[in-house]
């Protein structure tokens, strides 16, 4: 079994004008595909080959296999990132997730403020995340390929802050890109579904669309 490059959940031009078709083609077909290809090459003759992607991410990290971890985690991270956005996204969350955000952060506006600060506070390449640890929602930033998945947290949203995610459209204005992500693109339906699984099935919110 090999890892495949998952299709985007929307057309390449679906996020314009906030993220251009050119950026998505470059990011998905070059960067994401590059991680897929390198992960498959690294997995040859590896006992982790054939396991679910989340298990490979955790296993590579536990074994200290940094080469495999960097690539397989980036396959998973990017796939979550694509699903964290949607055409005509943005706005405020609904239902149980909205209630939990109010409980843990105050309200949706304070959530956006804290999430933006986390995304802007990540020095260099990395991600900003909304995750759930089984008790509370957590906003955190991580460098490079590091993901809350390795700490047993369920990821609800991911915002890629590597420069290639936004530089063609926003140049060095990461704040402009993060504002667009939060106000125009964020896929609350995706986050709400994952949070519901966590609550109803005891943190078993696996996410395996990149496996083939």
Q: Is 102 within a domain?
A: yes
Contact in structure between 144 and 122 (CB atoms under 8 Å): no
- Residue 140 to residue 189: CA distance in whole angstroms: 20
Residue 168 lies in a domain: yes
Q: Is residue 7 part of a domain?
A: no
pLDDT, average across residues 21-25: 98
> For residue 175, what pLDDT is reported?
97
Residue 202 pLDDT: 67
pLDDT of 36 over the 50 cut:
yes
Other beta carbons within 10 angstroms of residue 91's beta carbon come to 12
CATH assignment of the domain containing 41: 3.55.40.20
Instruction: Tell whether 99 is covered by a domain.
Output: yes
C-alpha distance from residue 192 to each of 62, 116, 180 (Å): 30, 19, 20
Instruction: Walk across the sheet containing 137-143 and list its strands.
Output: 137-143, 126-132, 154-160
What is the spatial distance between Cα 1 and Cα 16, in angstroms, rounded to a whole number?
35
204 pLDDT higher than 90? no
pLDDT tens-digit map of 121-162? 999 999 999 999 989 999 999 999 999 999 999 999 999 999
In a domain, 170, yes or no: yes
Residue 13 maps to a domain:
no
Tell me 8's DSSP state: P
Unique residue bearing structure tokens 């994952």: 194
Low-confidence winner among 33-37, 88-92, 207-211 (lowest mean pLDDT): 207-211
144 within some domain = yes
**Residue corresponding to tokens 């070059």:** 30
Residue 182's CB: how many other CB atoms inside 10 A? 22
Q: Is residue 29 in some structural domain?
A: yes
For residue 199, what pLDDT band results from cuts at 50, 70 and 90? confident
188-198: average pLDDT? 92
- For 39-55, the pLDDT digits (tens) are 999 999 899 999 999 99
Split at pLDDT 50, 70, 90, the class of 210 is very low
Segment 77-96 shows an average pLDDT of 96
- For the chain, the average pLDDT equals 93
Question: What are the tokens at 114?
Answer: 């804290």
Provide the residue range defining the domain that includes 158: 19-212
State the total domains in the chain.
1
Give the CA dihedral 205, 16, 78, 179, nearest 10 degrees.
-80
Q: Residue 138 — φ and ψ, nearest 5°?
A: -135, 135
DSSP 82-145: HHTB-TT--S---HHHHHHHHHHHSSHHHHHHHHHHHHHHS-SSEEEEEEE-SSSEEEEEEETT
pLDDT at residue 203, rounded to an integer: 56
Of the pLDDT bands very low, low, confident and very high (cuts 50, 70, 90), residue 212 is: very low
């Amino acid at each position: 079994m090999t890892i495949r490059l998952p299709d985007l959940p929307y057309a390449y031009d679906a996020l314009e004008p906030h993220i251009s078709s050119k950026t998505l083609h470059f990011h998905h077909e070059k960067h994401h595909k590059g991680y897929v290809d390198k992960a498959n090459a690294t997995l040859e003759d590896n006992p982790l080959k054939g396991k679910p992607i989340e298990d490979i991410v955790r296993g590579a990290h536990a074994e200290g296999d940094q080469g495999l971890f960097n690539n397989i985690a980036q396959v998973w991270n990017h796939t979550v990132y694509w699903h964290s956005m949607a055409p005509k996204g943005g706005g405020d969350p609904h239902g149980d997730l909205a209630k939990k955000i109010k409980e843990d952060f105050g309200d949706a506006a304070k959530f956006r403020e804290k999430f933006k600060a986390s995304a802007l506070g990540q020095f260099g390449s990395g991600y900003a995340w909304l995750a759930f640890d089984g008790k509370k929602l957590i906003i955190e930033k991580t460098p490079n390929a590091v993901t809350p998945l390795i700490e047993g947290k369920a990821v609800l949203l991911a915002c890629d802050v590597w420069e290639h995610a936004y530089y063609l459209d926003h140049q060095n204005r990461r704040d402009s890109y993060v504002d667009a992500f939060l106000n125009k693109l964020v896929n609350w339906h995706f986050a709400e579904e994952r949070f519901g699984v966590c609550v109803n099935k005891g943190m078993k919110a696996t996410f395996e669309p990149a496996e083939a």
